[in-house]
Structure 1
Amino acid sequence: MNATIAPTGIRSRIDGSLPGGIVAVATAIPAFIGYTAQATLDGTDCTCVPVKIGSMAEFDAIFTGPPGTRPQAPRYRVTVLPSPPADGDDDAETVGFVSCRIAPDPATVYWLRDSVRMFFENGGTEARIVSAGPFGAASGHAAPPGAAFVDALVNPNVRLADLQAALAALKTSSDVTLYVVPEATLLPDADALALTQSLLAQSAALGTCLTLLDVKGGLRPDPQAWPQDIAAFRRSTGDIGLDFGAAYYPFLITALRSGTLDYTDFDGGDARALLPVLNPDAMPNPAAAQLLQAIAAGTAPDVAKNHQALLIASPAYAALIAIVERKAGTLPPSGAVAGIFARVDADAGVWTAPANVVPAMVADLTLRLSDQDQAGLNVDAVSGKSIDAFRLFAGRGVVLWGARTLDGNSQDWRYVPVRRTAVMVEQSIRAWLRSLVFAANDANTWAYAQSAIEQFLTGLWQAGGLQGTKPSEAFAVQVGLGTTMTADDLLDGVLRITVLLAITRPAEFIVIGIEQPLAIG
């Protein structure tokens, strides 16, 4: 018999006499839910249909448009301020000699595509995409000024009903092991709360996947008041399915948008709106002004050439583009986390903590946390809900520095690798047990099942997935009449198996109960 204990990277096989051994299920297959430019597969609409992809090229072919289609980008409005920026307006900037606000139109902010790209950039190889619908229309105005930027950045085109319909489409997708909904933080607070609880409840009900959550408030955290966002998030998660969820904070400032934006991303593409910034009275720039006028008049139609000419003619334009690329590249962390899960699973096994990992394409964080800050995220005396942090360390850069589930008070399920290893073991055994559906519920079948499971778990132990100096300290398998089954179970044709796993410490077992209906009692 061959017992494969990890789908990629880490493999351990045990030779034996039993055919058709247990093979570990895939452990890092995320389902991304969100909005797309289109949703067309082989000429058929696939909105609210899980679609398998293995690359960004596949994503774009199905959800972005024909080759050469420019991916959606937020629209920004530049407003010149009459005086230097006031405290409390996080979008206030000084560009050259001009004070201005650079804020997005909230109705044009979407995070799905960039989050999927972060998944692939960080080690992901396969995902499911569930489009909740097409992008909505721009509102034509920027987010209002003020310190409550996060509250202001609610995309009216992102609707709870759309996202919940897409989530419901995953109820029968047993191969999905992670839920990722980066645009959940663009919902109003009450809707974000409802969606979070729906995600956790479905994860717990299915028992096959972990929900990766982003903390609403992580986009523009107040340097002093950010703990209020954490407290609000903890209140919003409810009490169901906490061991099937993990939350990450703060948002990541990525390099994904570097070199992708130009003047058409401002003020609906009206180049004249940039004149007060690029050609201010205090420091006129006739070359930039002339080019902007030509663009507005339609006599300079080549966007790429105009963009390069403006970069050369105007340092203020180059500074403006850099600011917007940083803003547009600031993302919820869940997509990168899903990729890190896939990378760690492949390199070291699902039982290894997906932490102390440097994410790819990340330049900075929206908030730099201290050891004391993180201590408050790890453990909360009131709610018991843990939140995993990204940290910035000198000499290393940004690092994912936590691997806890939301269920911080649980003795069994407080750590992500423990929950995910248990899910992998349970689902692998369940998948194999289906081959016994026509077997008799007798001692021969019980011995056969016990032997197969023990060989599978021996391979897992030898690879380092279970703790103990010998198999008896690492696992136990129980099956049989008077042990896990009653006479009624035999009459009903139900095979019941109990598996004990020492995932964190030798001989300290987590108990998993598995049952399989049999056609023959």
Structure 2
Amino acid sequence: MPAMKTPGVYIVEKNAFPNSVVEVATAVPAFIGYTQKAENGDKSLLNKPWRITSMKEFERFFGGAPCPKFTIDDAPTLDIADVKVRTPGDSRGTGKVLNQKNAKFILYSSMRLFFQNGGGACYVVSVGDYDGDASGDGEGEIKADELRKGIAPLIKEPEPTMVVIPEAVCLADLKTCTSVQQAALLHCGNKMRNRVAILDIFDGHKDRQDPDGDCIAAFRDSLGINYLDFATAYYPWVNTTITADSDITFDFLSPEGKSALVDLLKVELKVAVTDDVPMEEPEPDADGNVGEAKPTKEGQVLLDNRASLAKELDGVIELKDAINKKISKRDDGSDPSLKGKSDASIELQVKAERALLNKTLMAVSPLYVQILKAISARLNLLPPAAAMAGVYTAVDTLRGVWKAPANVSLSSVSAPAVNITHDDQEDLNVTTQGKSINAIRSFIGEGTLVWGARTLDGNSLDWRYINVRRTMIMMEESIRLGTKAYVFEANNAQTWITIKSMIRNFLTGIWKRGGLAGSTPDDAFSVYVGLGETMTSEDILEGILRVSVLVAVTRPAEFIEITFTQQMQKS
């Protein structure tokens, strides 16, 4: 109140309404992994949480996709071969498998999957680049300790509500993968308690009957029992359409892979030229002698085409050699045709020649097309956690955080890596240890759907469902921030009534939108505060103001039972 010393009119304003509780954001994931770069101008973003809202922003601050390098190796059996190669005189042929030589950096593809499934604002923590260290040798690797270090900076960021580490499943073995996932659980369930971890299954692209072992049983055995109500897991991995077939060229092969490709193309050419063609038996002459068999009319056309193929393939190999020479001369500056040209124009010229080589190979070699398709299938096989983070965002926006993120289709997903039946899901969803795994299933006419909404604490009636945990986090954080304004206010009845009415108004809004169950607000929630109700006189002397809030969070109808009974005819 102003000091009244000079005669006049003084204005006094009084607040008519108490503070209100503002609902906090519920769908802000934090992604941790490796990127091409991590910089904002001259400022490094390494191990610093950085907020983005689109894939364009991600590429601006963190760069583009990695360039995987595959080798072409002999397959132990034809059953597991990625490519089958025919050899002269062998109708069955031999099998080849594609193995990625460098580390499987999948954060970039996972971010694209996140945004294509409804993702919005998120945080990215880059823990390193594709080269692995400052040497820039291009032989980077994914390290568990670096991924764990990326979790710590999130302690200072209150906004993220989910933690996703897609590259944890790309580590060398289950043990190191589990160490990263346990660190995420510790962060979410112990240090912060305002966010959840979305976990992937190590080797989740394999069937549970795989000879290497049951990936679900291994995951459950290794994860432990701590903070399971702050995490959820999904199985299996998904086949996506993130990387287009047109984006894949021979550049995705390592030097050894390219050499193997040339050898295979020569074998393919030899088969094409020496395979049997339709022949006609000559008639014997007057002396009974039979001449050599000659190709039929159709056979001669086939031989002519094969000769053309051989010429084309020779041209392909010559073009490949020319490009390699041009690249080496470009690097040492000895190519006279490149003198005076800018780096950009040189890159365009080399890129055009590479595109021509790739197009020619695809036209003349079915084997090359098989190899590209096999590489595409490998790159498009992704763990589902990033997609689920996008689904959480979309569901929260359209329906609210209290809606279970299930019975929702996945975008940019062609099929789950493993087909799960009704019986298969029984052990995934309900198990003695309570570690429920949410299934991603394919349904005829509906596509690929998320078919589960449980946390890993499936035996808990309080925290069985992920939407219940996330709704409680939202209400707890919102009310905590709202009541922060009353810290150091008088601990008396006036403050108690103000806080109670503020919380009731907030919960009433949640109830009206369907987040709380009950025919009336009094059935949906209760708020208690006051001396003799939640506090003692000693609490007040110690400066403690206790508020007790009871809520009935809506739970999903996971099982719907319809009973049919025949009755007697009545008319």
Which TM-score bucket, shorter chain as reference?
Answer: 0.7 to 0.9
Q: Is the 8 A contact 1:403 1:415 kept in 2?
A: yes
1:431-470 to structure 2, matched below 5 A, reads 431-470=481-520
Q: Which amino acid aligns with 2:151?
A: L
Q: Is the contact between residue 271 and residue 295 of structure 1 (CA under 8 Å) also seen in structure 2?
A: no
Residue 143 of structure 1 aligns with which residue? none
Shift of 1:472: 1.2
Distance 1:96 1:326, change over 3 A: farther
* Partner residue, 2:154: 170
Partner residue, 1:117: 112
1:288 equivalenced with 2:318 (yes/no): no
Q: Map of 1:62-141 to 2, 5 A cutoff?
A: 62-64=61-63, 71-79=65-73, 85-87=77-79, 90-94=80-84, 99-136=94-131
Residues of 2 paired with 1:341 and 1:356: CA distance? 12
Q: Using a 3 Å threshold, how does the CA distance of structure 1 residues 92 and 451 change in structure 2: closer, same or farther?
A: same
Residue number in structure 1 paired with 2:6: none
Of residues 395, 398, 412 in structure 1, which corresponds to 2:448?
398
> Against the structure 1 CA distance between its residues 137 and 96, is the aligned structure 2 distance closer, same or farther, given a 3 Å change threshold?
farther
Distance 1:426 1:168 in 2: 23
Aligned residue for 2:251? 264
Q: Deviations over 1:379-398 (max 9, x none)?
A: 111x2110001001111111
- In structure 2, relative to structure 1, the CA distance for the partners of 1:399 and 1:217 (3 Å cut) is same
* 2:282 corresponds to: none
* 1:209-358 alignment, distance < 5 Å: 209-221=195-207, 223-224=209-210, 228-258=214-244, 259-268=246-255, 271-279=258-266, 280=268, 281-283=270-272, 285-286=309-310, 287-298=312-323, 301=350, 302-358=353-409
Q: Secondary structure at the match of 2:409?
A: coil
- Residue 224 of structure 1 deviates from its aligned partner by 4.5
**Using a 3 Å threshold, how does the CA distance of structure 1 residues 77 and 373 change in structure 2: closer, same or farther?**
same
Deviations 1:149-186 (A, max 9, x none): xxxxxx98211210111001111211110000011112
What is the alpha-carbon distance in structure 2 between the residues aligned to residue 173 and residue 106 of structure 1? 36
2: distance between equivalents of 1:342 and 1:454?
26
Q: Deviations over 1:401-441 (max 9, x none)?
A: 11100001001100010000000000011111122224222
For 1:288, give the aligned amino acid.
L
Q: Which runs of 5+ in 1 are unaligned?
A: 1-15, 65-69, 139-154, 507-521
| Match in the other structure for 2:339 | none
Unaligned runs of 5+ residues in structure 2 are 1-14, 88-92, 134-138, 274-308, 327-349, 557-571
**Mean Cα deviation higher: 187-196 or 395-404:** 187-196
Structure 2 length-normalised TM = 0.77
**Aligned residue number for residue 283 of structure 2:** none
Once residues 500 and 422 of structure 1 are traced to their aligned partners in structure 2, the CA distance between those partners, rounded to angstroms, is 11
Alignment-derived partner of residue 509 in structure 1: none
User: d(CA) in 2 for partners of 1:344 and 1:95?
Assistant: 47
| 8 A Cα contact 1:252 1:365, kept in partner | yes
Question: What CA RMSD, in Å, does the superposition of the two structures yield over aligned residues?
Answer: 2.4
- TM-score, normalised via structure 1 length: 0.84
**Which ranges of 4 or more aligned residues in structure 1 deviate by more than 6 Å?**
none
Q: 1:440 to 1:273 in 2, by over 3 A?
A: same
Name the stretch that deviates more: 307-316 or 218-227: 218-227
Work out the CA distance in 1 between the residues paired with 2:34 and 2:230: 24
Shift of 1:192: 1.5
CA deviations 1:52-98 (Å, max 9, x no partner) are 0111111111111xxxxx621321111356xx9344xx454326776
**Corresponding residue number in structure 2 for 1:45:** 44
One-letter code aligned to 1:85: T
Q: Give the 3-state SS of the residue equivalent to 2:425 in structure 1.
A: helix
CA deviations 1:264-317 (Å, max 9, x no partner) are 001248644312333422125432342133223326832223222322232322
Between Structure 1 and Structure 2, how many residues are aligned?
A: 465
Letter in 2 for 1:41: N
Query: Aligned partner of 1:338: which letter?
Result: A
- The answer to whether the Cα contact below 8 Å between 2:166 and 2:383 also exists between their aligned partners in 1 is yes
Structure ranking higher in helix proportion: 2
CA distance in 2, matches of 1:412, 1:229: 28
For 1:167 and 1:376, the matched residues in 2 are separated by 31
Distance 1:439 1:109, change over 3 A: same
**Residues 76 and 102 of structure 1 are in contact (CA less than 8 Å); yes or no, is this contact kept in structure 2?**
no
What one-letter code is carried by the residue in structure 2 that aligns with 1:101? K
Residues of 2 paired with 1:77 and 1:269: CA distance?
6
Contact conserved, 1:106 with 1:156, CA < 8 A, in 2?
A: no
Q: Give the equivalent residue in structure 2 for 1:516.
A: none
**Mapping of 1:358-437 within 5 angstroms?**
358-381=409-432, 383-437=433-487
Inter-partner Cα distance in structure 1 for 2:491 and 2:217: 51
Percent of aligned pairs with the same amino acid:
36
Give distance in 2, aligned partners of 1:418 and 1:357. 18
